[in-house]
């Protein structure tokens, strides 16, 4: 009995073969371009049959390159060597092993359990609190690691049993875990964006800046969907009981608090109640309580200075050759290299006069034997230097007056929101919430700090992606060491998995380069371009067609195969329709979220099934993923309608 997944895969392969055969049979003469399309079809079928992607691309590429070069093995092998060397010389790919190494180290620091527990306690009052905490945990952990399989597997072991015990619907719980775990391939630092940037020739820095807000938008849409479902169907996501919301207090904090709901600031400041509590404990708690206010004031002060200070432009006394200073009289020396004077120098002798008597005493010296200029300096000659001396002082005053500008509106709005959040934090800070805040400090904030430091250094231009990846790898090691998880076995396993993943990516690039060269040599690219342009599509129609094709390809293929095989076909078409490759890359990154969620090759579903209880079926997991696939399509539409969601930050930073 053949399973339904196999039926789907075999049917898809049959459609590809029938389509390729019909194109070949309908052609009057079979050209090299038709052979290129045949090669593309055979590559897809071979990958679906389970052959390794990289070696399938290399094998098919070399075979069809040999056909394109008229059976010349020497030129075929030369092409293979050049493609391999081009991949090895690509500096962008150095960031891949470093980011992957950071991800494996963070994964082995085992922060995910404490992160999930602290988040689900912090969000306990929201409808669907466990599912929302699962999505937020997946978003943060997937961003820090970028490894979809690891995030889905760990959350399947941790969050799925908790949600099932709380009475959650199996499809909703499975959908939240699989959709949240896939966000790592979209939100920077993402290996997908590095691979796309290297393939399409787009700046990885701009891709990271552009993908930040679309990734947050997609995660927010997931959270909003879960809250709405929990509100409309409370039986699918029951609220947490009072016992599950309870946070145990440490013994010393129990002496300070009349109850866990007592206000923390007031309890810490009471003198009599603190009499039998060590002063060191009280000061430590007060330091933790004061931390949000201190961070807010530091951020506000430094950012206010940054947005209101105008750097003075450096001015140098360098002039264009032959130019004169503004306001200088004609004939005055402007300094620097100048044109020779139009009069003087070697000239014809005067036509009359010839030899003349030397000038008599007292006569003005107008002849060639005159006093050198500047030999007799009078006070009148020195007078014009006074305005010149006053000039720099006036320029300094003008610069000093223009060095401060008002803070922009967005700064006031941003810090007004942050200030309101800090105020609410202190108004509702009970001892129970203080314990939750301490749990977040130990799990949530270290990861966020690591992510923001890596992304901030890239986006603000402080470091290249490779340098930031190296610092991220160091941060991952320090994080694992801080949680006492760094030992020789963890380091050895992380290095081995990093080498394995990096080798896969590099061999994919070698195979992709050989395949793309063979496809271009056979004229397949020209045939595809001629076919697309012959359809007389508008820009909107082209974008819809390309995204539909990528969406359908995500069902049988993974994102790596789609990027390295089909992006070299789509990228040359963008100029014909006036599509920005950066914007197209953001649409593709959103679209490729579906590659992990769409059956039958929905890898996230199989990762989750491998660690879920026996009564959870694949059909239930697939059913739970479908609404999140619909949300991904909605996110693509929103990004197209408002492209500034993805383009605003790159334009602001790199215009």
Q: How many CB atoms lie within 10 A of CB 246?
A: 13
Please state the length of the chain: 655
Q: Which own/partner contact pairs does 459-462 have at CB distance under 8 Å and 24+ positions apart?
A: 459/205, 459/208, 459/209, 459/212, 459/649, 459/653, 460/653, 461/205, 461/653
- pLDDT, position 231: 92
419-429 in b/e form (b: 16+ CB < 10 A) is: eeebeeeeeeb
pLDDT of residue 268: 76
CA-to-CA separations, 219 to 90, 194, 526, 551, 628, in angstroms, rounded: 32, 21, 39, 19, 10
Stretches in the chain below the pLDDT threshold 50: 326-335, 362-368, 374-391, 393-402
For the beta carbon of residue 60, count every other beta carbon within 10 angstroms.
22
Amino acid 316: pLDDT: 60
Q: What is the pLDDT of residue 642?
A: 93
């Amino acid at each position: 009995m053949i399973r339904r997944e196999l039926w789907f895969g075999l049917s898809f392969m049959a459609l590809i073969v029938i389509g390729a055969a019909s194109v070949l049979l309908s052609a009057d003469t079979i050209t090299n371009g038709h052979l290129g399309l045949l090669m593309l079809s055979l590559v897809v079928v071979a990958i679906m049959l389970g052959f390794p992607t990289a070696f399938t691309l290399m094998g098919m590429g070399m075979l069809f390159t040999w056909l394109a070069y008229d059976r010349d093995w020497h030129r075929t092998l030369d092409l293979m060597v050049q493609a391999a060397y081009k991949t090895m010389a690509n500096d962008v790919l150095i960031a891949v092993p470093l980011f992957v190494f950071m991800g494996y180290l963070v994964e082995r620091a085992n922060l995910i359990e404490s992160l999930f527990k602290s988040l689900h306690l912090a969000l306990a009052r929201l409808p669907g609190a466990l599912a929302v905490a699962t999505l937020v945990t997946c978003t943060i952990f997937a961003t820090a690691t970028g490894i979809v399989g690891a995030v889905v597997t760990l959350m399947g072991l941790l969050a799925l049993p908790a949600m099932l015990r709380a009475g959650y619907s199996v499809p909703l719980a499975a959908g939240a875990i699989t959709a949240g775990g896939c966000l790592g391939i979209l939100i920077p630092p993402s290996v997908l964006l590095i691979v796309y940037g290297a393939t399409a020739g787009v700046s990885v820095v701009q891709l990271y800046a552009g993908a930040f807000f679309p990734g947050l938008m997609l995660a927010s849409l997931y959270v909003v969907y879960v809250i709405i479902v929990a509100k409309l169907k409370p039986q699918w996501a029951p609220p947490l009981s009072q016992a599950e919301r309870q946070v145990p207090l440490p013994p010393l904090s129990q002496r300070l608090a009349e109850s866990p709901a007592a206000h923390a600031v007031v309890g810490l400041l009471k003198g009599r109640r603190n009499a039998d509590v060590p002063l060191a404990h009280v000061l430590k708690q007060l330091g933790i309580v004061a931390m949000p206010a201190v961070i807010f004031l530091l951020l506000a002060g430094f950012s206010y200075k940054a947005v209101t200070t105008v750097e003075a432009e450096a001015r140098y006394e360098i002039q264009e050759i032959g130019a004169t200073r503004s306001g200088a009289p004609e004939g005055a020396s402007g300094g620097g290299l100048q044109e020779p004077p139009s009069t003087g120098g070697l000239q014809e002798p005067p036509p009359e006069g010839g030899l003349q008597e030397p000038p008599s005493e007292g006569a003005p010296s107008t002849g060639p034997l005159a006093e050198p200029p500047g030999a007799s300096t009078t006070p009148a000659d020195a007078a014009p230097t006074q305005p010149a001396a006053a000039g720099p002082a006036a320029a300094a005053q003008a610069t000093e007056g223009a060095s401060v500008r008002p803070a922009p509106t967005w700064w006031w709005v941003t810090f007004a929101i942050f200030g309101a959040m800090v105020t609410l934090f202190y108004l509702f800070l009970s001892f129970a919430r203080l314990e939750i805040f301490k749990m977040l400090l130990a799990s949530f904030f270290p990861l966020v700090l690591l992510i923001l430091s890596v992304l901030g250094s890239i986006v603000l231009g402080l470091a290249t992606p490779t340098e930031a990846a190296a610092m991220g790898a160091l941060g991952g090691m320090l994080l694992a060491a801080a949680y006492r998880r760094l030992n020789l076995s963890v380091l050895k396993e992380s290095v081995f998995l990093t080498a394995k993943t990096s080798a896969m990516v590099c061999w994919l690039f070698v195979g992709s380069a050989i395949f793309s060269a063979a496809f271009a040599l056979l004229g397949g690219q020209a045939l595809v371009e001629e076919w697309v342009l012959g359809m007389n599509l508008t820009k909107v129609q082209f974008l819809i067609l390309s995204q539909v094709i990528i969406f359908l390809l995500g069902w049988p293929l993974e994102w790596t195969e789609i990027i390295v095989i089909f992006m070299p076909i789509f990228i040359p078409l963008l100029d014909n329709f006036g599509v920005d490759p950066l914007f197209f890359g953001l649409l593709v990154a959103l679209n490729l979220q579906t590659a992990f969620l769409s059956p039958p090759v929905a890898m996230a579903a199989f990762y989750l099934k491998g660690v879920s209880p026996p009564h959870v079926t694949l059909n239930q997991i697939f059913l739970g993923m479908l609404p999140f696939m619909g949300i991904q399509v909605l996110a693509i539409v929103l990004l197209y309608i408002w492209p500034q969601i993805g383009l605003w930050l790159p334009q602001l930073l790199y215009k």
